[in-house]
Amino acid sequence: MDRKHWGNLQREGWREGDAAAFLGLSPEEAMYVEMKLRLADAVRALRARQSLTQIELAERLGSSQSRVAKIEGGDPSVSIDLLARSMLALGATNEDIARAIGTVG
């Protein structure tokens, strides 16, 4: 965004910040959200590397394709438990899960 446009937005009351600040998240809450998103990305990447469809992963989980889409999309209704079980269903090790979580900044 150019400076002129940003200046106009600031005059209208817009402020710069991140999602955590906008939502009023504590550092711990922001880290929790980031961890869930990293796990969701890891599930999607692992499924794609194995050339599996969302339907095939859903069958492994005893779930539905739409639930897998929510898992991969980082839907807030998806628990960390389900994210971890999804990775395990794809053959991930505990170390793979830890690596995905360990990338949280």
Residue ranges of the domains in the chain?
A: 25-102
Residue of 31, 39, 30 lying closest to 97 (CA atoms): 39
Q: What superfamily does domain 25-102 belong to in CATH?
A: lambda repressor-like DNA-binding domains (1.10.260.40)
pLDDT in the model for residue 105: 52
Question: Can you list the pairs that 19-27 forms with residues at least 24 positions away whose Cβ atoms lie under 8 Å?
Answer: none
Q: Where are the alpha helices (DSSP H) in 12-90?
A: 19-23, 27-49, 54-61, 65-73, 80-89
**pLDDT tier for residue 23 given thresholds of 50, 70 and 90:** confident
- What pTM value is reported for the model? 0.78
Question: Can you list the pairs that 27-35 forms with residues at least 24 positions away whose Cβ atoms lie under 8 Å?
Answer: 31/104, 34/104, 34/105, 35/80, 35/101, 35/104
pLDDT in the model for residue 103: 61
- Single-letter amino acid, residue 44: R
Confidence check: pLDDT of 104 > 80? no
